[in-house]
Amino acid sequence: MKIKKIITMSLALSLAFAPLLSSPVSAKEKDFERIKIQSVKMEKNKFKSGEVIVKFKDKVMVSDEASTVQSVEGEVLPDGKVKSDFKVLKVKDVEKAIEKLEKNPNVEYAEPNYVFTKSWTPNDTYYNNYQYGIKNTYTNFAWDVARGSSSQEIAVIDTGVDYTHPDLDGKTIRGYDFVDNDYDPMDLDGHGTHVAGIAAAETNNATGIAGTAPNTRILAVRVLDENGSGSLTDIADSIRYAADVGAEVINLSLGCDCSTTTLQNAVNYAWNKGVVLVAAAGNDGVRTTFEPASYSNVIAVGAVDSSNRKASFSNYGTWVDVVAPGVDIASTYPGNRYVYLSGTSMASPYVAGLAALLKGQGRSNVQVRQAIEYTADAVSGTGTYSSYGRINSNDAVRY
């Protein structure tokens, strides 16, 4: 049986600094408290006990599917919100079931239903600046040409979004909560709210921060619970869900050092429906690929600091398409607060926001990707740490 490598969600990272009060950007920065933000890691070989993901080949008869399930003494678990192209089986022994299923001619693939759980990854760097990322990427100049569209959505697939936050409440759509199986994707962790603010916080409202795509709406999709735990099946289903309900852009500030056909198929499904997918490159500071960022139909995003230097934690290599600010990024946080976080998780929504600006101009996903990559600035490390360099929003919207 092929149990995949260690999986690490790039839910960034860190020790952050949070104002005790929800204050606008212009307010004096003081009275900060240090809070711990949990990243999410997956322990090696850790998967949901007694659960196997199986994808049957096309045109396999229902009776053959049933006999295959019976051959491993399995039980098909009920499908959730999304009608998946795979099934989840309840089995007695995961490894033995997969070994047997992989030999069955009716089966395209079988793999464990991986579980994502939290681990601590501290970073106590404090950078005394709010939104250098907007200026470093020339997004403030891009707004003269494009600000996104209120008829379009960025799907933030994450820990949920605090849709009551004053910088998010007027533009956040409550999508599906795959954790609790309802339509209340409230963020009980904080990571998703921070990501959402970077991508598309309310702008020009005399409050807090400015989002990269000021006019684009946020589709909140929750796949991780309050403990930072969620399944591969929910993440794959959430990508399909976001594509089906019409999201133009999907941000995935998560990932794994793994090989999973289930996730690859979900990404391809969304891309083929015209969606732009953007994902964090990971925070291990290594050249090793990180999925889904490394997939051909995803824009992989690494992180740089305010001086356009590669962030020490950022994964790198020519498999990384572009880089964006990801060190000490200020954004929205539950409880009407704003905090600084660092990570490729923070870099990814800058690119997702830029993709939304371009989508608002009526471009296809292929055209959006070309504009982002071909106009990126060749900062230090381009060609080594990333293929194209740091995004340039102003040049992209004029490309």
What CATH number does the domain located at 7-22+33-43+118-397 have?
A: 3.40.50.200
pTM for this one?
A: 0.84
**pLDDT score for 185:** 98
Helix (H, G, I), strand (E, B) or coil at 40: strand
**pLDDT score for 117:** 38
Q: What's the pLDDT tens digit per position in 158-210?
A: 999 999 999 999 999 999 999 999 999 999 999 999 999 999 999 888 788 89
Helix (H, G, I), strand (E, B) or coil at 281: coil
Reported residue count of the chain is 399
**pLDDT score for 36:** 37
Question: Residue 177 and residue 254: Cα distance in Å, rounded?
Answer: 17
Contact call for residues 191 and 125 (beta carbons, < 8 A): no
Specify burial of residue 244 (Cβ count, 10 A radius: 0-12, 13-18, 19+).
middle
**pLDDT score for 4:** 37
**pLDDT score for 31:** 33
Contact call for residues 279 and 298 (beta carbons, < 8 A): yes
CA distances in angstroms from 51 to 103, 115, 265, 358, listed in the order given: 18, 11, 19, 41
**pLDDT score for 360:** 98
**pLDDT score for 317:** 97
Closest CA to 341 of 8, 10, 118, 12: 12
**Domain span(s) for CATH 3.40.50.200 in the chain:** 7-22+33-43+118-397
Question: Residue 53 and residue 26: Cα distance in Å, rounded?
Answer: 50
**Domain span(s) for CATH 3.30.70.80 in the chain:** 47-115
Q: What's the pLDDT tens digit per position in 28-54?
A: 343 333 333 333 343 444 777 888 889
DSSP 57: P
Q: Which residue type sits at 37?
A: I
Contact call for residues 193 and 161 (beta carbons, < 8 A): yes
Contact call for residues 354 and 391 (beta carbons, < 8 A): yes
Residues catalogued as catalytic: 158, 191, 345
**pLDDT score for 230:** 77
Residue whose pair of structure tokens reads 């999986």 in the numeric block:
7
Question: Residue 47 and residue 254: Cα distance in Å, rounded?
Answer: 17
Closest CA to 375 of 327, 314, 325, 322: 322
Low-confidence ranges of the chain (pLDDT < 70): 1-45, 81, 115-129
Relative orientation angle of helices 261-272 and 232-244, to the nearest 10 degrees: 10
Asked if CATH classification 3.30.420.40 holds for the domain at 47-115, the reply, yes or no, is: no
Question: Residue 397 and residue 217: Cα distance in Å, rounded?
Answer: 19
Q: Which residue type sits at 72?
A: V
